[in-house]
Amino acid sequence: MTTVIPGSFAAPIEVRGLSKRFKNVDAVTDLGFTVPQGSITGFLGPNGSGKTTTLRMILGLVKPTSGTSTVAGVPIRSLVDPARTVGAVLDSQSLHPNRTALDHLKVYASAIRVPDARARQVLALVGLEDVAGRKAGGFSLGMRQRLSLATALLGDPRILILDEPANGLDPEGIAWLREFLKGFAASGRTVLISSHILREVEQTVDNLVIVSRGSLVYQGRMEELRKSQQSRLLVASSSPAALATALAAKGIVDARSLADGRLAVVGASLELVESVAAGAGVTIFGAVGDHIDLEQLFLSMTAGQYVAGASPAAPSGYGPPQTYAPQPGYAPPGYPAQPGYAPQPGYGPPPGYPAQPGYAPPPGYGPPPAHPQQGPMSGGPR
């Protein structure tokens, strides 16, 4: 059961008309979506479709060319205590190799002014307490991912943003992450998790935002997308046209001719098709079941066949749900209009966040100078 956090009426993450152009590359174009509270929202798209750029804009690490985004109802730079509202992992590779897991966490605990004791707590949360004294340089990819996640959890945030956290994880690691995130969301908190492989997050996410070439192609609940998957029968017969007519007379109207001469029939069993064919004097030469899986659907959506707001155009009768709009209830009534987002010169993480790799913070800003490599919001501006 989802717990609603009192007083938090704004959507955890709201993106409106967001665009980013890098010189001559349109990385993100007029993107809009809402991440519902308590959801684990998968942010999916092929490599280069603008996911990381979007996450960086939401986190205030990249200045949008146009559009707005809010976290907990306000532009991220307006959050009073950002690390306690949102934790993010953008790059788990940027851990200092000679620093122990515990020391790494203490550095960032100090930067966001949480007690050192919290470092041990988050290590336990991600199952790394046994390697607290080991240097991160010797960590496997999975351990690095966990340590990055622990860093993001230091401020006990109610929103987590994770960029490809399942990347390179083995099935056991993915299963662990799934259970962790489900537990996180079950307490009413919210996760936005990106991936370029639907299968990787299919069992984890309950809501989806799918992008292709920087634009939205689908937004909605996972179960809606699942429902759109239908099995069909591919029937070879002596007269596809006569069979289609006979099926239509029995109320089976979704029967289409394929280029190979077979009839693709949706919503009828083989027994029914055989009996209708027999009644119409049509001979069936053979029939096979055909099931399109979610990954195929995802690939077809991101191959540019579908556009946001349009009806699916797949000739085979398969496609995503007809409406790509947010689900009812996902945009709370009375949700306040977003103020214009006016990024500051020298755009970067909001005050209260440690420095990011590649990010040049103002003097005196960020964690201890030795190795400002990662924090509750890791990664740097591009």
Ligand X SMILES: Nc1ncnc2c1ncn2[C@@H]1O[C@H](COP(=O)(O)OP(=O)(O)OP(=O)(O)O)[C@@H](O)[C@H]1O
Scanning 44-52, 135-143, 220-228, 302-310 for contacts with ligand X by CB under 6 A, the matching segment is 44-52
Residues whose CB falls within 8 Å of the CB of residue 275, separated by 6 or more in sequence, listed in order: none
* Residue written as token pair 């001469």: 261
> What would the two tokens of residue 208 be?
């989806």
Which one of residues 12, 50, 64, 348 is an interface residue with ligand X (CB under 6 A)? 50
Scanning 20-28, 80-88, 283-291, 321-329 for contacts with ligand X by CB under 6 A, the matching segment is 20-28
Scanning 42-50, 119-127, 246-254, 339-347 for contacts with ligand X by CB under 6 A, the matching segment is 42-50
Q: Is 301 in the site for ligand X (CB under 6 A)?
A: no
DSSP labels, 262-276:
-EEEES--HHHHHHH
Contacts of 256-263 spanning 24+ positions with Cβ under 8 A: 256/315, 256/316, 256/317, 258/234, 258/316, 261/236, 262/234, 262/235, 262/236, 262/237, 263/234, 263/235, 263/237
Query: Which amino acid makes up residue 372?
Result: P
Sign of CA dihedral 124, 126, 159, 224: negative
Q: Is 299 in the site for ligand X (CB under 6 A)?
A: no
φ/ψ bin of 203: left (φ > 0), alpha (ψ from -120 to 50), beta (otherwise)? alpha
Q: Is 45 in the site for ligand X (CB under 6 A)?
A: yes
Scanning 50-58, 80-88, 276-284, 311-319 for contacts with ligand X by CB under 6 A, the matching segment is 50-58
Q: Is 27 in the site for ligand X (CB under 6 A)?
A: yes
176-205 residues near ligand X, rule: CB under 6 A: 196
Which one of residues 48, 137, 309, 368 is an interface residue with ligand X (CB under 6 A)? 48
Smallest gap from residue 43 Cβ to ligand X (A):
9
Binding mask 53-92 for ligand X (x = CB under 6 A): x---------------------------------------
DSSP, collapsed to helix, strand or coil, labels residue 221 as strand
What is the C-alpha to C-alpha distance for residues 310 and 323, in angstroms, rounded to an integer? 7
User: Residue 22 or residue 241: which is nearer to ligand X going by CB?
Assistant: 22
Binding site for ligand X (CB under 6 A): 22, 25, 27, 45, 47-53, 196, 382
